[in-house]
Amino acid sequence: MKSDVETLQTSEKFDEIYHLASPASPPWYMKEPKRTISANLLGAFRLLDLLKKGGRFGYTSSSEIYGDPLVSPQPESYKGQVDCTGPRSSYDESKRCTEALLFEMQRTKGLNVKVIRPFNIYGPRTRPDDGRAVSNFVTQALAGRPITVFGDGKQSRSWGYVDDIVDGFARYFWINETDYKGPLNIGNDREITVLEVAKYVSKLVGGVPIVFEPSPPQDPTNRRPDLTRAYAVMPEWSCKVSYEQGVAMTLDWFREKIKVGAA
């Protein structure tokens, strides 16, 4: 079936439901706050109605629930620093509110719930207009345009290549049996500045220039997961793709996509 998650209509009930439906592109969710909140929170309400009694509910939250953190790396116990009236709040707060709903359902109704907080996913098949750093840098560089860095580029992220993150999803949601009942960070704990990634993309395409623009409001200064819990729950899992490898593979995919589009 195909439907917006918050308006999904079916008489079926399901043993397992995994709620990954949400815009995650900052330009998109800043322009569509109502739909962003609706997809996360109303989507969860709708999907919970479709879950069989005793079924499992998985939810993809976000590292954005930590806001602009004052603690690094961020453990799952960190409560975060989020502005509920800021320009990013529709995404941040809808993720936080949906987590609150699910963990209250766990506490009061015994809901079997698993929540993942992924960190800065990137890789092939990202939309060219996604608005996040790696896809922005790659598409600008391949078009021969200057790479745009917001602020001074010293803000840091922990870039997680999509294959590694999906492997973590699969292990926590399906493969590994665990009694752990809290949220779980999934990401790469190697912290890299935005400017370093921009310079690396520039190098890969022969040295396109880098230009600097004012930083968007409330852009987090750092993001790095504490993976202690993830390694305890999934001891065989880790992020194996370095950002150098991942960015190069992402650039190759976009280059091929541009060739196919021009053919």
Which residues are the active-site residues? 91
The candidate with the shortest Cα–Cα distance to 88, out of 63, 59, 74, 67, is 67
Angle at 99 between CA 93 and CA 100, to 5 degrees: 90
Query: By CB neighbour count within 10 A (0-12 exposed, 13-18 middle, 19+ buried), where does 106 fall?
Result: middle
DSSP bridge partners of 14: 51
Residues, the chain, total?
263
E-state strands within 155-254? 156-157, 160-161, 183-186, 192-193, 210-213
149, 208 contact by CB (below 8 A) = no
What Cα–Cα distance (Å) separates residue 96 from each residue in 67, 180, 250?
10, 19, 30
Q: Which two tokens stand for residue 190?
A: 């190697």
